[in-house]
A and B are shown apart, each in its own frame.
Chain A
Amino acid sequence: MSNFGLLLDGFAVALTTHHILIMVAGVLLGLVVGVLPGLGAPNGVSLLLPLTFTMDPVSAIILLTSMYWGALFGGSTTSILFNIPGEPSSVATTFDGYPMARQGQAVRALTLAFSSAGIGALTGVIVITLLSGWVANFALRFGAAEYFAVYFMAFASFIGMSSGSPFKTLVSMMLGFACSAIGADTISGESRLTFEFDALIGGISFLVAVIGLFGLGELIMTMEENLEFHGVKAKLSLREIFKTVAEVPRYWATVLRSALIGCWMGITPGGPTAASFMSYAIGRRFAKNGNRFGKGEPEGIVAPETADHSAGSCALLPMLALGIPGSATAAVMMGGLMIWGLAPGPMLFTTRPDFVWGLIASMYLGNIIAVILVLATVPMFAYILRAPFRIVGPMITVVCMIGAYTVASHTFDIWLALLFGVAGYVFKKLDYPLAPFVLAMVLGDKAEDAFRQAMLTSNGSASIFWSNGLVGTMMALGIILLFLPLISKLLSKAGIGFRRKALPPQSEVGSV
């Protein structure tokens, strides 16, 4: 049977009252989890997992994935309204979403984020529908070298496309790598950079760093500038929503590019966080108003949101088809699959087609439900913006401190978050970009592992990164991205030189 026929069967499974109610409940729970920083999607899904043991696997996976969609959307809400990313993958949404909300266009910013996120997610699901069979064969060729090449591309795009000093990007990113290296080494088990401090042996969670750098750092910044939120309509005007939705097709190029980046990063395990950062960086490079990015540019919201959600849905593809989770949340869900007695991997498509295709069909419906529900709950969050910041600020501080503690139930993490808060404040004032730091912290371990494993297979020869067409192409793309500022400078010089040389013959032709 073709994929399309199987999908229709899947809709028959998903389109029951029971399953739709489960989707609504899952999305609502996810929104709560996504809005609270520190209670992220992986955390929320693991908390909900024990409740699903007695459920039928199809209903259970629909509940968990719906919660995931809700968390992804909820994370964007707080990013835009409070500049606190509820999820690491919505960090990039704060760059332009928050400035736009501060200019009194909170509803526009939210609607832009949700509609582009919806498009991104649906693109991702369509990709899953079309590719699920084929991708298994392709991704089976991925070794450590290929994984490293994917990470390398993500990092290189950041240095190559930074708008400020590339050295500040470099320092920020490398500090992130250093923080991710703290704790037990994943390959040898030796403890690194802990300097005999017991609290550091478990490593530093990137969530604590994000809460400090983005949450507390931004709070101090806001307090210093004595800013107050104003002019934000608490009422959600339907007219403004529709006006904004009608605005989205104008950014079709950004949407298409970001969706492609997202799908690629989701299938190859770059994950939604890397995808949204990369899409934002590339979007800034290619957009007409790229220099206005960071000041509330619509495309600066569309680019990371589309990529985030298309990567989030595509991350389920390798989990289902190969048993390799594409994101932290997918890893938790995969644990669930095994508890329910299902073996993730290519065989799942033949043994339980009702499960696989029911899940895929529910992803179409779940995302549509999520867009509607998140829009419906916006007035509640926008209302909070009317309170003066000297009242809201301490409330956000409390949420940040709780968030830092809930990551691992360590009191030490509270102090760590304060430290990161001061660092975030200073870095922000001196124009050090924070995003590369977080990206390096999230992916640092995985990139290093992939690098070392690749080196182990090749006995220390770097030629493994050029050993086949796939990895060679990815590495070459990464290097081009890394030196993009230099290359574009050289190209424009060459272009001018070429024109000068080309001019005389033209004038000669003219004179003849």
Chain B
Amino acid sequence: MEISRRTSEIATSVITALLGAIVCYGALENGITWDDSGPRPGYFPFYVGCLIILGSAVIGGQALLRPAESKPPFLDAERARSVVLFFLPIVAFAAISAWLGLYIGMAIYIFYAMYVPGKLKLATSIAAALAVAVINFVVFEKLFMVPLLKGPVLNYFGIY
């Protein structure tokens, strides 16, 4: 699996152009004209969307017209693997946090990251996971009084 620079440039410009189109569409819903009280709310975003489409079109066009591939590929198989191996656990971290709260999420995530890719000892990994959760709890809940997401498990133990 290898993604060339040219492909990624074109794909990105298509995505940004689509985003621009969504912005224009959203702006049209608000009205892009002028009325008695001045420009309607969609006036400004509509032109922003147009400029996004214009810029994306130029970038995409330049990439299409560019002749042979001179720059290194966007991503090769080995690099893609390390990106996925780093990013997927973060997605899992977010999913667990949304469900069981940030403290449990971060403890599980840190344990995994220390033990599997981090190659630390089992006991060290558990200690690190607990330390991270406890230190963050003290800093945010006690010192700065900023409550983080708790989730049903901590609530069950009377921690809100």
Which of A175, A188, A418 is B94 in contact with, Cβ under 8 Å?
A418
A435 CB, min distance to chain B CBs, angstroms:
16
* Pairwise interchain contact A174-B55, C-beta atoms closer than 8 A: yes
A168 in the interface, Cβ–Cβ < 8 Å?
A: yes
Assuming the contacts A402-B102, A402-B148, A429-B74, asked whether A220 and B23 have C-beta atoms less than 8 A apart, the reply is: no
Q: Are A167 and B98 in contact (CB under 8 A)?
A: no
Most buried by B among A171, A225, A429: A171
In the complex, what residues of B have CB within 8 A of residue A427's CB?
Answer: 12
Residue A135 CB within 8 A of the other chain: no
Cα of A406 to Cα of B39 in the assembled complex, Å: 35
A181/B16 contact (C-beta < 8 A), A219-B86, A224-B79, A460-B34 known: no
Decide: A193 near B27, CB < 8 A? Known: A178-B48, A414-B98.
yes
Q: Is A390 an interface residue when CB atoms closer than 8 A count as contact?
A: yes
In the assembled complex, the CB of A172 is this many whole angstroms from the nearest CB of chain B, namely 9
- Of the candidates A194, A223, A451, the one whose C-beta lies within 8 Å of that of B44 is A451
Q: In the complex the two chains form, is A47's CB within 8 Å of B97's CB?
A: no
* B26 within 8 A of partner (CB): yes
User: Quick check: B102 and A401 within 8 Å, CB to CB?
Assistant: yes
In angstroms, Cα B49 to Cα A174, docked, is: 7
Q: Which residues of A contact B91 (CB under 8 A)?
A: 418
**Cα A190 to Cα B30 with chains together (Å):** 8
CA distance A220 to B84 in the complex (A): 9
Interface string of A134-157 (1 = CB under 8 A from B): 000000000000000000000000
- The residues of B that contact A192 with a CB separation of less than 8 Å are 26-27, 30, 41-42, 45
The 8 A CB mask of B75-99 against A (1 = contact, 0 = none) is 1000100110011001101100110
**Distance in angstroms between the alpha carbons of A43 and B69 in the assembled complex:** 48
Q: Is B138 an interface residue (CB 8 A)?
A: no
Asked if residues B44 and A181 are in contact (CB atoms below 8 Å), the reply is yes
Q: Is the CB of A187 within 8 A of B41?
A: yes
Q: Determine the interface band of chain B, counting residues with CB < 8 A from chain A.
A: 35 or more
Instruction: Check if A39 sits within 8 Å of B144, measured CB to CB.
Output: yes
Does chain B have a CB within 8 A of A185? yes
From A409, A421, A426, B147 is in contact (CB under 8 Å) with A409
Asked whether, in the complex, the Cβ of B39 is within 8 Å of the Cβ of A455, the reply is yes
Q: A168-B59, A192-B30 are in contact. Are A395 and B48 (CB under 8 A)?
A: no
- Write out the residue numbers on chain A whose beta carbons fall within 8 Å of the beta carbon of B140: 402, 406
B113 close to chain A: CB less than 8 A: yes
The residues of B that contact A411 with a CB separation of less than 8 Å are: 97-98, 149
A282 to B90, CA, bound (A): 38
Q: Which residues does chain A contribute within 8 Å of B23, judged by CB atoms?
A: 178, 181, 193
CA of A472 to CA of B39 in the docked complex: distance in angstroms? 22
Within 8 A of B (CB), among A211-243: 216, 219-220, 223-226
Partner of A220, one of B56, B86, B145: B86
Evaluate contact between A224 and B26: CB separation under 8 angstroms. Answer: no
B45, B110, B118, B146: which contacts A178 (Cβ < 8 A)?
B45
Q: Is the CB of B44 within 8 A of A391?
A: no
Q: Is the CB of B97 within 8 A of A452?
A: no
User: In the complex, what residues of B have CB within 8 A of residue A220's CB?
Assistant: 83, 86-87
- The residue in chain A whose Cβ has the minimal distance to the Cβ of B120 is A391
Asked if A376 is at the interface of the complex by the 8 Å CB criterion, the answer is: no
- Per the 8 Å Cβ criterion, residues 101-160 of B in contact with A are 102, 105-106, 109-110, 113-114, 117-120, 132, 136, 140, 144-149
A226 to B76, CA, bound (A): 14
Given the contacts A178-B49, A394-B118, A398-B136, A406 and B146 also touching, CB distance less than 8 Å: yes
B64 at the interface (CB under 8 A from A): no
- B146 cross-chain contacts in A, Cβ below 8 A: 39, 47, 406
**Contact of A47 with B145 at beta-carbon distance under 8 Å, contacts A188-B41, A430-B8 already known:** yes
User: For A353, what are the chain B residues with a Cβ–Cβ distance below 8 Å?
Assistant: none
- The smallest C-beta distance from A429 to any residue of chain B, in angstroms, reads 6
Q: What separation, in Å, do the CA atoms of A194 and B8 have in the docked complex?
A: 28
Taking CB atoms, residues of chain B closer than 8 Å to A422 are: 87
Interface residues of B (CB under 8 A from A): 5, 8-9, 12, 16, 19-20, 22-23, 26-27, 30, 34, 37-45, 48-49, 51-52, 54-56, 58-59, 62, 74-75, 79, 82-83, 86-87, 90-91, 93-94, 97-98, 102, 105-106, 109-110, 113-114, 117-120, 132, 136, 140, 144-149
Would you mind naming 12 contact pairs between A and B with Cβ atoms under 8 Å apart?
A181-B44, A192-B42, A219-B86, A391-B114, A414-B94, A427-B12, A430-B5, A430-B8, A430-B9, A430-B12, A432-B12, A452-B39
A-B interface, 8 closest residue pairs, ranked by CB to CB distance from nearest:
A394-B113, A171-B55, A193-B26, A185-B41, A223-B86, A170-B55, A456-B38, A167-B55
